[in-house]
């Protein structure tokens, strides 16, 4: 997480959802994405958290959870690349680099 200063509760939200399984993760994702997709800072942090969660679960050997986070990360990254423009896209690319 490299000294990243959190601006949301996404990390905590997904950590709680992890304890309740894949459907809870999907639900948490859907609510976060739908609520915050128009905020460049929050959607960027959502992508970061999804990526970190991929690796957290991969290192634990939890393939199903890691694969779900990877799917959500790919979908969100694609959405950002297609929908963010100008300064918002620059912010996204610089922050996720």
Residue with tokens 């950002």: 80
Tokens of 22: 């894949």
The 10s digit of each residue's pLDDT in 39-91 is 999 999 999 999 999 999 999 999 999 999 999 999 999 999 999 999 999 99
pTM of the model: 0.94
Residue closest to 8 by CA, chosen among 97, 59, 37, 83: 37
Q: What is the pLDDT of residues 9-38, one digit of tens each?
A: 999 999 999 999 999 999 999 999 999 999
């Amino acid at each position: 997480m490299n000294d990243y200063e959190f601006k949301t509760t996404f990390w905590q939200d997904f950590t709680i959802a992890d304890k309740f399984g894949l459907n809870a993760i999907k639900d948490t994702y859907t609510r976060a994405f739908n609520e915050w997709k128009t905020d460049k800072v929050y959607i960027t942090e959502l992508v970061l958290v999804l990526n970190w969660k991929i690796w957290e679960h991969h290192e634990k050997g939890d393939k199903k959870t890691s694969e779900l986070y990877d799917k959500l990360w790919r979908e969100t990254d694609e959405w950002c690349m297609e929908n963010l423009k100008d300064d918002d896209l620059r912010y996204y690319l610089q922050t996720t680099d």
